């Protein structure tokens, strides 16, 4: 009787013990399955961030384009320069963010590639372990825990139900929030494990994959190294069924845990790439959009633009100049957000952009956010100013209006801050080394003379007195007789100009006047 009781007790104990021929318990494989689901979400999270970054860069481009159009449409010179400072700042930020895009894109793609490569190994592990089965109590993956009964073996991934890992291609489904399981230290779901040891298996289910000493991997031609199932997360020792291969993916950042990382090198490589995008702080692009005064006031690029455009100083910006710059900002842009909006961005609602201008349905400039339409609007205002200039010059030619003295020429040239405009003037030259923007463009007497503009005397208009030699004649023949006896190439003394006998310098004076008026008008454009 005692012998029978003892035998039954021994059988009962053995039935509840793990065996080297058992199936992997759910408490061991489920964390890896859950981790694969997290990895599958990562491409969608990165794609969401990438779209946000693209939208931010696009908003900078749109706001900059609106500011450029507003600057060209503005009639007040200082207001136009103030818009130009905003536009220049936004273009600077746009270029800055675009330059960062390449590096951020490489970082993002690397994280996705390594994560998906690792997930592929995990998926293969589950496909193999579920396929290596012969029935409900014969196989390698069970929904019982390690040390549990030898049943509930699952023969397919679908049979695992909601506990199944993610084994399909990434869907790139949008993920608005970061994935907290992927941290700067490691993967929180993959806590310490021992690999494939007897304690991680159920009772005997004849799993040939995990067999060791008992007619398995350690018999016959014995293996000489650990077998890295699931790319090392479930390694099978080559020494005994009870020898653990310790792993832990929660503390990759700790050098003291390096021994637990030896078997899971691929996991660590994935973490090294993923930690650069999760949390997403380093990947997300953010900054000012040009519409918030506080953001602009603290931006170095904006301060530099204000110094150049509104303080007429092209020297490098220095923090020690903040007092003067901030005073100018408050004066021009306003001290409060409400003032800034009213003086600038709020005014865009009053600027009509016709369909003929932008190629888009008629709208207000504030609502026009199509870059093609904004480019057309900008070109429209630029060409309109050029046409207006041509018209003004034509009118002045008809009226014979002349200009000013050399002192006036100096003043006019100093208003041409732009190098291209200054150089295009027949009387001005641009000095790149001059720091003061009001002194970069100066009157050039040599250039003016070469252009046929007299510069040695005060310039006068049609009402100025000509020499008596010419003005005494009332008809063309007698007027031209004053030139008889002159040598070839010598400048004529008199000429019949606009139905009057005039001194030949009249034409040169008039040419100078037109060049000065043209330069002055161009100065207003900038």
C-alpha pair distances (Å), 446 with each of 326, 423, 429:
41, 14, 10
**pTM exceeds 0.85:** no
Contact call for residues 185 and 253 (beta carbons, < 8 A): yes
Residue 514 above 60 pLDDT?
Answer: no
Residue 4 above 80 pLDDT?
Answer: no
The Cα 143–Cα 188 span in angstroms is: 22
pLDDT tens digit sequence for 96-148: 999 999 999 999 999 999 999 999 999 999 999 999 999 999 999 999 999 99
Q: Which residues contact 354 (CB under 8 A, 6 or more apart)?
A: 362
Instruction: Label residue 178 by pLDDT band (50, 70, 90).
Output: very high
Residue 478 pLDDT: 85
Reported as type and span, the H/E element at residue 496 is strand 494-497
The Cα 202–Cα 204 span in angstroms is: 6
C-alpha pair distances (Å), 11 with each of 6, 8, 146:
9, 5, 18
Domains of the chain: 17-281 (3.90.150.10), 400-484+491-525 (no CATH)
Q: How many CB atoms lie within 10 A of CB 356?
A: 9
Residue 209 pLDDT: 87
Instruction: Label residue 501 by pLDDT band (50, 70, 90).
Output: confident
Residue 200 above 70 pLDDT?
Answer: yes
Name the phi and psi angles at 483, rounded to 5: -95, 0
Residue 434 pLDDT: 82
pLDDT tens digit sequence for 5-55: 333 333 333 444 556 689 999 999 999 999 999 999 999 999 999 999 999
Residue 7 pLDDT: 34
Contact call for residues 458 and 474 (beta carbons, < 8 A): no
Q: Rounded mean pLDDT of the chain? A: 85
The Cα 259–Cα 265 span in angstroms is: 11
Residue 400 above 60 pLDDT?
Answer: no
By C-alpha distance, which of 459, 464, 471 is closest to 511? 459
Residue at token pair 């007790």: 9
Residue 323 pLDDT: 95
Of the listed ranges 105-109, 259-263, 461-465, the one predicted with least confidence: 461-465
């Amino acid at each position: 009787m005692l012998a029978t009781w003892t035998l039954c007790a021994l059988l009962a104990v053995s039935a509840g013990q793990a065996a080297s021929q058992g199936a992997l318990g759910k408490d061991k494989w489920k964390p890896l399955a859950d981790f694969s689901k997290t990895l599958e979400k990562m491409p969608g999270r990165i794609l969401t961030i990438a779209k946000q970054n693209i939208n931010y860069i696009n908003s900078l481009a749109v706001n900059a384009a609106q500011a450029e159009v507003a600057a060209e449409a503005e009639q007040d010179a200082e207001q136009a320069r103030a818009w130009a400072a905003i536009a220049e700042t936004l273009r600077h930020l746009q270029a800055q963010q675009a330059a960062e895009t390449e590096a951020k894109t490489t970082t993002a793609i690397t994280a996705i590639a390594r994560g998906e490569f690792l997930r592929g190994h995990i998926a293969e592990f589950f496909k193999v372990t579920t396929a290596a089965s012969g029935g409900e109590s014969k196989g390698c993956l069970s929904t019982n825990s390690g040390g549990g009964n030898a049943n509930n073996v699952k023969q397919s991934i679908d049979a695992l139900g909601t506990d199944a890992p993610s084994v399909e291609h990434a869907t790139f489904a949008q993920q608005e929030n970061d994935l907290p399981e992927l941290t700067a230290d490691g993967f929180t779901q993959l806590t310490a494990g021992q690999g494939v040891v007897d304690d991680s298996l159920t009772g005997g289910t004849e799993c040939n994959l995990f067999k060791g000493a008992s007619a398995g991997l350690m018999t016959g031609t014995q293996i000489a190294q650990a077998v890295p199932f699931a790319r090392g997360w479930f390694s099978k020792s080559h020494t005994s069924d009870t020898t653990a291969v310790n792993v832990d993916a929660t503390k990759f950042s700790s050098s003291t845990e390096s021994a637990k990382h030896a078997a899971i090198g691929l996991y660590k490589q994935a973490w090294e790439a993923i930690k650069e995008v999760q949390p997403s702080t380093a990947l997300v692009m953010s900054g000012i959009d040009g519409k918030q005064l506080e953001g602009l006031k603290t931006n170095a690029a904006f301060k530099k633009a204000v110094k150049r455009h509104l303080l007429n100083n092209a020297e490098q910006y220095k923090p020690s100049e903040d007092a003067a710059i901030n005073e100018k900002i408050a004066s021009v842009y306003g001290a409060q957000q409400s003032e800034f909006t009213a003086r600038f961005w709020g005014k865009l609602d009053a600027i009509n952009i016709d369909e003929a201008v932008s190629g888009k349905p008629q709208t207000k400039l504030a609502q026009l956010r199509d870059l093609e339409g904004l480019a057309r609007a900008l070109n429209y205002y630029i060409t309109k100013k050029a046409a207006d200039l041509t018209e003004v010059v034509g009118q002045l030619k008809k009226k014979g209006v002349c200009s000013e003295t050399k002192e006036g020429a100096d003043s006019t040239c100093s208003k041409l801050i732009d190098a291209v405009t200054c150089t295009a003037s027949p009387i001005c030259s641009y000095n790149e080394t001059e720091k003061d923007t009001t002194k970069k463009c100066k009157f050039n007497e040599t250039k003016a003379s070469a252009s046929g503009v007299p510069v040695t005397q005060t310039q006068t208009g049609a009402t100025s007195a000509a020499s008596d030699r010419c003005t005494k004649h009332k008809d063309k023949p007698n007027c031209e007789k004053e030139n008889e006896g002159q040598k070839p190439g010598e400048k004529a003394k008199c000429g019949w100009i606009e139905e009057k006998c005039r001194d030949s310098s009249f034409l040169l004076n008039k040419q100078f006047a037109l060049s000065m008026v043209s330069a002055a008008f161009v100065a207003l454009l900038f």
